[in-house]
Amino acid sequence: MENIKIISVVGARPNFMKIASVADAINAHNTSRKPFIGHLIIHTGQHYDRKMSDLFFKELGIPAPDVNLGVGSGSHAVQTAEIMRRFEPLLLQHRPDYVLVVGDVNSTIACALVAAKLGIRVVHVEAGLRSFDRTMPEEINRVLTDAISDVLFITEISAETNLLREGVAPEKIHFVGNVMIDTLLKHLEKARQSDILKRLGLTNGKNSAADYAVLTLHRPSNVDHPGTLQTIVDALNEVAGHVPIVFPVHPRTRKAIGSLQRDLSPNVLLTEPLSYLDFLRLMADSRLVLTDSGGIQEETTVLGVPCLTLRENTERPVTISHGTNRLVPLQHLEIVEAAQQALHNGPVSGRMPEFWDGRSAERIVAVLEELS
């Protein structure tokens, strides 16, 4: 049996928790089974701040990247092109059997494209999600990556419908569940030990239930347009009159907030980006999460915490049909009323989406073994 060689790509924060479980599953496979799977992790350097990158490797026990391409920030074209330019020589040097990419960030499409052009099979983890909104840079990345992928691993059944409609051959699609949820389930107990609530002054003792909401905001469509951001901030200031809001601020958003005309309420507690375990604890104990993130819609579904997604659409419809997620139009009244209603209704329990059971990465490794 020939050994298998895989190069996995990470670049931006949401990639790290996905690769963590893939790397674990490959290691577990290698301890007891053949063929040996050689696994290199390449970090493109799309995210580079310690709090947006290194911290996650440490907390999640991800092997340090074998290579960091050190690309950094730039316009979409510059960042994507620079990743491609620096990734190609690595592929020529290592000639892996598979390049495995996750999610929908610029690093995902850039590395998939380089691999496909070199005739190296592309594996896309979290394939087939569609917001049907081409103004989202991630939607372009998703559509293009899927079009050139050879093995497509999906997290929910809507993705299969989307891929079949786009002409992807059914035998390329594998429904394995959600590797990011593998990581969540593995780390939840440890996250519960985090003292983040104490550090933020949200709870006095062990037994007192904390009373706060959590907010994250980083989509260009929400934070890059001052008018939209102002609408959201005004609404959140009103919500903060009912419940304190903890707001770990993404670097993109921090820049945008500085240019707002009105300040955030003192009841909105701004923090630096948090570590994985601190943020998981913060979400798990919150009364409500408001977000425009993709992954957080899925994590709150598993945690049973009400989630209001400040977007017109979601590429993850299972979080609405099965989970705790609700889309909220970007209008003052809509946001305030949805938040009040969610706070009034209290905790929600959804159905767990199929295969979100902590074993998705294991299924991925089994499929790749089978295909080799």
Work out how close the CB of 198 gets to ligand UD1 at its nearest, in angstroms, rounded to a whole number. 26
Token pair 């104990």: residue: 285
| Shortest Å distance, C-beta 124 to ligand UD1 | 15
The amino acid that residue 202 corresponds to is L
Distances (CA, A) of 55 to 60, 68, 103: 8, 15, 20
At which residue do the structure tokens 């003052």 appear?
332
Catalytic residue, chosen from 39, 174, 218, 250, is: 218
Classify residue 367 as exposed, middle or buried by CB count within 10 Å of its CB (0-12, 13-18, 19+).
middle
CB 245 within 8 A of CB 213: yes
CB of 327 to ligand UD1, least distance (A): 17
Member of 105, 113, 120, 336 binding ligand UD1 (CB under 6 A): 105
Closest distance of CB 77 from ligand UD1, Å: 11
| Minimum CB–partner distance for residue 102 and ligand UD1 (Å) | 11
**Taken in order 313, 318, 320, 325, is the CA torsion positive or negative?**
negative
Q: What is the C-alpha to C-alpha distance for residues 257 and 38, in angstroms, rounded to an integer?
A: 44
For the question of residue 43 being annotated catalytic, the response is: no
Query: Judged by CB under 6 A, which of 38, 137, 304, 358 binds ligand UD1?
Result: 137
Q: What is the DSSP letter of 353?
A: P
**Which residues in 7-36 contact ligand UD1 (CB under 6 A)?**
12-14
Nearer to ligand UD1, 82 or 97 (CB): 82
- Binding status of residue 252 toward ligand UD1 by CB under 6 A: yes
Binding residue (CB under 6 A) for ligand UD1 from 30, 36, 48, 271: 48
| 47 counts as binding ligand UD1 under rule CB under 6 A | yes
Side-by-side strand order, sheet with 245-248: 268-271, 245-248, 213-215, 288-291, 307-309, 325-327
Query: Which tokens in the block code for residue 141?
Result: 């990345």
CB-count burial class (<10 Å; 0-12, 13-18, 19+) for 208: exposed
Q: What three-state secondary structure class fits 87? A: helix
- Which positions from 294 through 313 interact with ligand UD1, judged by CB under 6 A? none
The span of 6-14, 125-133, 154-162, 163-171 binding ligand UD1 (CB under 6 A) equals 6-14
Q: Nearer to ligand UD1 by C-beta: 38 or 251?
A: 251
User: Which residues of this chain interact with ligand UD1, rule CB under 6 A?
Assistant: 12-14, 46-49, 52, 73, 104-106, 137-138, 218, 250-252
Q: Which residues are catalytic?
A: 218
